[in-house]
Amino acid sequence: MESRLSQEQIADRLNEAATLLEAQGADRFRVRAYQMGADTVRALDETPAEILERAGLEGLVALPNIGDRLARAIDEMVATGRWIQLERMRGEAEPESLFQSVPGIGAATAQAIQDALHVETLEALEIAAHDGRLEKVPGIGPRRAAAIRASLSSMLARRRRQRREDHEEPGVELLLEVDRLYRDKAAAGELRRIAPKRFNPGGEAWLPIFHSDRDGWSFTALYSNTALAHDLGRTDDWVVIYFGRPGGREHQRTVVTETRGPLEGQRVVRGREPECRHHYFADD
């Protein structure tokens, strides 16, 4: 197995992530974790690709300063030559092109997935394929979703080897608090703005980015920069929140202003509406 990125290039990207996190106001401990991870990779006697081939993700996690999150990032760089988290911080994330690496997903389907699900990684897409969301995307359906699920299972098999697949999430109260902080700080002009590559022909730095560490979780929040958000005029309403435990997997949720039903006008975490109803109406 050969990496599309050299050992030095992987270390450079981890260092770049640390630099961007620091410039974008992230917690200094998160910044330092990426710096130390870069130092570890740069000092290795064998390449990350060789470690993954020999020992899987456990081989990377066993290294000093490399937890589960950095191990998965390194594996992503080895397997694809890309790192979607870094691309997101640069403003260059284009998950549609990543999804087209999955057999059975062409350009139109990749765009439909992004518009409907707001996911960016293959792992997040696989979760959607298992929990029923993928088959509801226009043009997919149960049979095609099953084929995509099988392809993803094969592509991601190494990343799961010897690792427990958990899907713990923060409570909706915490997600809604991060959403409120992000929107308040963005409105006050307190956040670093990045220039997204997509849907931004003038190269304007308009997209605020927010990093926060709370209650044992690391968060990154941005307004949604999808085609659907632009088409519906929701780029100043839909907030995508990425979250994970330090050293753990990253997941994401989208928070929106509900436009119908009993929660109309309230901020709601998509996919967790029942919990949001309990949050808002617990005392009723």
How does pLDDT run across 75-119, given as a tens digit for each residue? Answer: 989 988 889 899 999 998 777 888 888 888 998 999 899 888 878
Task: Give CA separation, 275 vs 31, 134, 218, 219, in Å.
Answer: 33, 22, 21, 20
Q: What is the pLDDT of residue 245?
A: 84
Asked if residue 148 is part of any domain, the answer here is yes
In the predicted model, what is the mean pLDDT of residues 56-82? 90
CATH number of the domain bearing residue 42: 1.10.150.110
d(CA 126, CA 63): 27
Per-range mean pLDDT, top range of 39-43, 56-60, 259-263, 269-273: 39-43
Rounded CA separation 201/207 (Å): 14
Separation of alpha carbons 283 and 3, rounded Å: 55
* Intra-chain end-to-end CA distance of the chain, in Å: 59
pTM recorded for the entire structure: 0.79
Query: What pLDDT, on a 0 to 100 scale, did the predictor assign at position 164?
Result: 46
Tens digit of each residue's pLDDT (9 = 90 or more) over 221-261: 999 988 888 888 999 999 999 998 876 778 889 999 999 99
The total of structural domains in the chain comes to 3
Distance in angstroms (rounded) separating the CA atoms of residues 24 and 89:
9
- CA gap 102, 211 in Å, rounded: 30
**Beta partners for 239?**
223, 255
Three-state DSSP class for residue 10: helix
How far is it, in rounded angstroms, from Cα 139 to Cα 159? 29
Per the prediction, the chain carries an average pLDDT of: 89
Tokens 């081939």 -> residue: 53
Residue 201 resides in a domain: yes
Could you tell me if residue 1 is inside a domain? no
* 225/263 same-domain check: yes
Report d(CA 119, CA 55) in Å as an integer: 29
Tell whether the model's pLDDT for residue 163 goes beyond 50: no
User: Has residue 166 been placed in a domain?
Assistant: no
- The predicted structure's pLDDT at residue 20: 96
In whole angstroms, how far apart are CA 93 and each of 103, 156, 198?
Answer: 21, 20, 8
What secondary structure letter does DSSP report for 57?
Answer: H
Choose between 145 and 80: higher pLDDT.
145
| Alpha helix stretches (DSSP H) within the chain | 7-23, 28-42, 48-61, 68-80, 84-90, 95-99, 107-117, 122-131, 141-155, 157-160, 172-187, 227-231, 273-281
Q: Which domain holds residue 212?
A: 172-281
* 150 within domain boundaries: yes
In this structure, the answer to whether residues 119 and 205 fall within a common structural domain is no
Query: Length of the chain in residues, anyone?
Result: 284
Is residue 27 in some structural domain? yes
Q: Are 264 and 258 in contact (CB under 8 A)?
A: yes
> Could you tell me the two tokens for 10?
């992987």
Cα–Cα distance measured from residue 156 to residue 126, given in angstroms and rounded to the nearest whole number: 9
Question: Residues 156, 240: one domain?
Answer: no
Domain membership of residue 263 (yes or no) is: yes
What letter represents residue 90's amino acid? R
* 232 inside domain: yes
